[in-house]
């Protein structure tokens, strides 16, 4: 059984603003990947977008100040900037693991805006359009956050204020970094079979993009392919035999997750599920 996934539409529109969300003048603080990435996106769509350093003056006309700094530095930077900012400005942090009200005790409008996006290094383009953002904060901040997300071409994930925190962030980090780590293992296996490093990286990148496309179009478990999804235990056994001990350990670690996903579609028999579980020791 598969689930059809339609791209989110209209999720950023607020019915209080029938002509569209109000424009927001934003300053992005931070010179890392997220700071540069958001700056590049917003400077194309918003009338003012500055990228000051932590010690530079914040433009007085700004409606929103986005702190794209490390989790540990968020409060320190905010406390340093609040006295120099307009009383009407909203301060946002981009730390998905911190609560949306983390800046709530500073006496200013506060919020959080976290992009579920893997940002490229400065100088390289990141595809932000179509990406998800979790947002939260007070009422003013949430309206401004929606405007910022809309200006980036993204969509607001879930209900505002419902996501930020370690649990939500763990899910995002597990997916993003887990995919990168598994991709690196796949590249290493291809290299061991004579493929050049760059060719292997391109091949695995293209494979991961195709998986993402299937998830976007069809959802789970339809995006799952391969021998586990088919209940082909003979091929799974051949896979394991062909791998080194370290590679087999990784294969076996992820195997039970694949089995559970495959079983959710209801297309594998009990005999197949039990055989697969025995192979992976689950």
Residue 11 has pLDDT above 60, yes or no: no
Report domain extents, the chain: 26-164, 167-280
Q: What is the pLDDT of residue 73?
A: 94
Q: What is the pLDDT of residue 52?
A: 59
Q: What is the pLDDT of residue 18?
A: 42
Pairwise pLDDT comparison (200 vs 20), residue with the higher score: 200
The chain-wide mean pLDDT, for the chain, equals 87
Q: What angle do CA 85, 99, 120 make, to 5 degrees?
A: 75
Range of weakest confidence among 1-5, 85-89, 187-191, 230-234: 1-5
Run of H or E residues at 53: none
Q: How far apart are the first and last CA of the chain?
A: 24
**Average pLDDT of 83-100?**
91
For residue 168, what are the CA distances in angstroms to 129, 174, 225, 266? 21, 10, 27, 28
Pairwise pLDDT comparison (21 vs 38), residue with the higher score: 38
Q: What is the pLDDT of residue 23?
A: 81
Q: What is the DSSP letter of 261?
A: H
Nearest to 38 by CA among 12, 57, 20, 64: 64
Fold of the CATH domain 26-164: Rossmann fold (3.40.50)
Pairwise pLDDT comparison (170 vs 20), residue with the higher score: 170
**Average pLDDT of 15-22?**
52
The structure's pTM equals 0.81
Q: What is the pLDDT of residue 281?
A: 85
Dist. CA 129–CA 115, nearest whole Å: 11
Per-residue pLDDT of 50-84, as tens digits, reads 665 555 566 677 899 999 999 999 999 999 999 88
DSSP string spanning 58-91? Answer: PPTT-SEEEE-S-GGGHHHHHHHHGGGS-TT-EE
Per-residue pLDDT of 210-251, as tens digits, reads 999 999 999 999 999 999 999 999 999 999 999 999 999 999
Tokens found for residue 203 = 């091949």
- Confidence at 17, pLDDT banded by 50, 70, 90: very low
- Confidence at 86, pLDDT banded by 50, 70, 90: confident
**Average pLDDT of 269-279?**
93
């Amino acid at each position: 059984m598969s689930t059809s996934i339609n791209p989110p539409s209209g999720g950023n529109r607020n019915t209080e603003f029938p002509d569209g969300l109000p424009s927001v003048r934003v300053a992005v603080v931070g010179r890392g990947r997220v700071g540069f990435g958001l700056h590049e996106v917003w400077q194309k769509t918003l009338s003012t977008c500055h990228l000051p350093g932590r010690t530079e003056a914040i433009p007085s006309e700004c409606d929103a100040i986005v702190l794209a700094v490390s989790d540990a530095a968020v409060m320190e930077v905010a406390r340093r900037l609040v006295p120099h900012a307009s009383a009407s400005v909203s301060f946002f942090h981009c730390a998905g693991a911190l609560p949306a009200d983390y800046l709530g005790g500073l006496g200013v409008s506060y919020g959080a805006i976290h992009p579920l996006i893997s940002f490229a290094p400065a100088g390289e383009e990141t595809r932000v359009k179509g990406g998800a953002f979790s947002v939260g904060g007070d009422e003013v901040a949430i309206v401004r956050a929606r405007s910022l997300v809309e200006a980036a071409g993204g969509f607001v994930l879930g209900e505002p204020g419902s996501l930020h925190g370690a649990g939500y962030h763990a899910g995002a980090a597990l997916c993003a970094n887990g995919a990168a780590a598994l991709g690196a293992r796949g590249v290493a296996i291809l290299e061991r079979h004579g493929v050049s490093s760059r060719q292997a990286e391109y091949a695995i990148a293209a494979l991961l993009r195709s998986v993402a496309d299937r998830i976007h179009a069809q959802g789970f478990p339809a995006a799952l392919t391969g021998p586990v999804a088919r209940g082909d235990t003979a091929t799974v056994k051949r896979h394991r035999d062909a791998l080194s001990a370290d590679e087999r350990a990784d294969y076996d670690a992820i195997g039970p997750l694949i089995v559970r996903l495959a079983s959710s579609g209801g297309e594998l028999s009990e005999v197949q599920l039990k055989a697969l579980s025995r192979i992976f020791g689950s």
